[in-house]
Amino acid sequence: MFRVNEVLNYGGLKYRVLALAGDQVVWICIDKTSGMPSAVYLNDLSNSIEQGMLSRSEDPYEELAYIVPELESSSYNKRDKNYELIKPIVVHPQFFEPKIRAALIKGVVAENGTIKKTLYNLLRRYWQRGQTPNALLPDYKKSGAKGKKRKAVGKKLGRPRKYTPGVGVGVDKQVERLFRIAIDRYLLKDNGLSFPYAHRRFMELYKNYFPDTPESEIPTKWQMLHFYKREYGQVEKLKKRTCLIEYNKDKRPLIGTANSNVLGPGSRFEIDATIADIYLVSDSDRGNIVGRPVIYMVIDVFSRMVAGFYVGFESPSYAAAMQALASAMTDKVEWCKLYGLDITYDDWPIVGLPNAILADRGELLGHQIEALESSFGVRIENAPPYRGDAKGIVERSFRTIQSDFKPFAPGVVGKTLIKKRGGKDYRLEASLSVSEFKKIILNSVWYHNNFHVLEKYDRNIDMPVDLDMTPLSLWNWGIQHRTGRLRAASEDALRISLLPRTKATISDLGISVFGVYYTSPEIVESGWMHRSKDIRRPVGLYAAYDPASADCIYLFPFKGKNDYWVCKLTTRSREFQECSFWDVWQVKNEQKQAVAESKLKASAQKRQLESLVAQTIKEAGRNAPDKSHMSNAARLRGIQSNKAQEKDKERGIQFYKPKTESKDIPAKVILLEGNRQEEDYSYPDYIDELFDTEDS
């Protein structure tokens, strides 16, 4: 009915069962600091249970069973020493008999030289706390009153001063209030102020309250630091001294995992960009340093497999993200052959549309990505601003990929541009070309997908223990045993849906996009380019364009449909053949700037012309003769005769005629070297030979 070591509640006091001796139960009260074990009959305890006076209770010393003291520590040595001292008594089967216990205690005292009081205290602790060696551990945790305030009795607490003059002052409620004001105002802010600075501000505040206090009697920095550590918790200090953005990104505890939100391969892609830590040179001229390229990565969350990437010099934007997504959703076999990597579909089997794409708000936020959502059902998720930890998988991949070339490649970005004696500027050491860098990144991605071991991957319960923890193995296993298979889509339709879009205007010159004109057979047949007022042209149409090529655009002529017409450059815009839209935008900006400067000059000259015309007209009015004596009819009749006189006067003007000089007299030749005749360099005369009738 009762078990050894269980705790019983009888009459409001707790008792521990020490042993079962026939029809008796040996127990001891654990709520009293005195007393020894005693025996009670089982029948009496049973009756007490029926009367509601006895019940089972929780063990208040249960935690002692989980304590493991350090080897050779003070607690460890004291526990073992005390247990060896009382062991002859506690192991005796009749320890609860007073006479037998007294004889055992007397023998231990005689043998070890200890006193009875010590033995009784150790025995009582052993029996009350569970009859285990850990029951004899010293209660060091109760020593020192850690975290509690001390009461000062007439003098300052703590050790007395040895070198600093003065006695010091105790910390009372007024000093604590000033401590708290200085700490809250200067220290618990995300401005990076130091603790000594906050203490100096406290000293100023203290002097304002107590101006006659000597400098040596102001509460010290250590007193304030003790108050700061005692009154403010670690989490509170960390939150208030850290910027909210930095705290959410780098400091807050991470409880969940990325894999808990994905069902399988293709459930979610993460995309992000970074600037590579290396300077490259141009492919056409290796002497030209072109700077640091941008790397876009698209990674499958479930398998950690790189689905696609982009390396180029387009700044992080939708235009660059579009190229990375296009590579992630299409076949990579032919693309890899361009860089000398022969693979099969099984080596890189990611082809198709994922269920969701997680990206920053800058790249995939706006109407341009809505075509991918509405046409193919891909859910676009945007991470909160300043929260790179929301895309931790793709963020970590940048360091992994770049670690393959950073220890070896020249031109890698260093910690500082300040050169030490004999040092070099790492930018001048650049020697890798753009195409060579793309080849390195491609091979690094291929190695990561096929051979990189994911040691810290958080497995699911249904994954086999012998599964190779490589991205490709996880992808293939997930395709067979999980949902989330990529959905198939036409590559042409997919690429056009990913292209950025802009409004297009229609006129008799064609379709205008960024000031460049396009046309197509469908546009000509529709009659939109006919020059007639009766022609009605649609408005509000959109066209997709590839930033890398301005040779053609894709016009969507019907609103609400995905049908498109391929439009090519007209002869009016032939200057942009084989150019990119970045070239178009640059040329158009330069042209507009030149036109604007020309308009400024024309405006100034126009004002001068208008002033000259006005002045000439004004002078003509002043020089006009008085014709009041002639009638209007007489003046009109004289127009023809006046015109004839003016014509005769014009014909009599002597026009300029160029004068020709005669060169019949040859120039005199002066020989500079004696009487040597000058060689004849004139064309030879073959007239005699041409008309010679004899055969040569």
In the chain, where the domains are located:
7-140, 173-241, 267-415+424-481, 499-586
Q: Classify residue 679 by its DSSP letter.
A: P
Model confidence at 31: pLDDT above 80: yes
Residue 677 has pLDDT above 60, yes or no: no
What separation in angstroms does the CA of 380 have from each of 260, 364, 369, 489, 625? 19, 7, 8, 17, 85
Q: What percent of the chain has a predicted confidence (pLDDT) above 90?
A: 21
Percent of all residues in the chain with a pLDDT value above 70, rounded to a whole number: 86
User: Please, how many CA atoms are within 13 Å of residue 670, restricted to the half-sphere of its CB?
Assistant: 1
Q: Residue 546 pLDDT more than 80?
A: yes
- Strand-by-strand arrangement of the 7-10 sheet: 38-41, 24-29, 13-21, 7-10, 54-57
Q: Say if CB 36 and CB 77 are below 8 A apart.
A: no
Condensed to tens digits (0 to 9), the pLDDT of residues 418-446 reads 555 556 778 888 888 888 889 988 999 99
What is the average per-residue pLDDT within 653-677?
61
pTM of the predicted structure, to 2 decimals = 0.62
pLDDT on residue 657: 63
pLDDT at 366: 58
Strands lying side by side in the sheet with 269-275? 306-312, 294-300, 269-275, 356-359, 379-382
| Res. 547 pLDDT band, cuts 50 70 90 | confident
Tell me, what's the pLDDT at 470? Answer: 92
Lowest mean pLDDT among 35-39, 280-284, 560-564: 560-564
Cα separation, 351 vs 570, whole angstroms: 36
- 313-319 mean pLDDT: 80
Average pLDDT over every residue of 461-486: 85
The two three-digit tokens of residue 62, written as one number: 């249960």
Residue 696 has pLDDT above 50, yes or no: no
With contact defined as beta carbons under 8 Å apart, do 544 and 501 qualify?
yes
Output the pLDDT for position 367: 57
CA distance 199 to 222: 10
pLDDT tens for 134-161 read 888 888 777 766 667 777 666 677 788 8
- Say what the pLDDT of residue 141 is: 74
Mean pLDDT to the nearest integer, 463-491: 83
Across-strand partners of 433? 281
Give me 397's structure tokens. Answer: 């991949």
Mean pLDDT of 9-28: 89
Q: What is the pLDDT of residue 607?
A: 94
- Amino acid at residue number 307: A
Q: Residue 199 — pLDDT band, cuts 50, 70, 90?
A: very high
Per the structure block, which two tokens stand in for 471?
A: 């991205």
> Can you tell me the distance from the alpha carbon of 306 to that of 446, in angstroms, rounded to the nearest whole number?
8
- Report the chain's mean pLDDT, rounded to a whole number: 83
Overall average pLDDT of the 497-520 stretch: 89
Superfamily in which the 267-415+424-481 domain is placed by CATH: Ribonuclease H-like superfamily/Ribonuclease H (3.30.420.10)
Given a cut of 90, is residue 386 above it in pLDDT? no
DSSP, collapsed to helix, strand or coil, labels residue 458 as: coil
Q: pLDDT tier at 567 (50, 70, 90 boundaries)?
A: very high
Q: Which pairs from 441-444 meet CB under 8 Å and 24+ separation?
A: 441/295, 441/309, 441/311, 441/401, 442/336, 442/339, 442/341, 443/341, 444/401, 444/404, 444/405
Residue 667 pLDDT class (50, 70, 90 cuts): low
pLDDT-based confidence at 288, cuts 50/70/90? confident
Residue 285 zone, left/alpha/beta (φ > 0; ψ -120 to 50; rest): beta
Q: If you average pLDDT over residues 116-138, what whole number do you get?
A: 90
Instruction: Provide the pLDDT for residue 221.
Output: 92
Query: Is the pLDDT score of 363 beyond 90?
Result: no
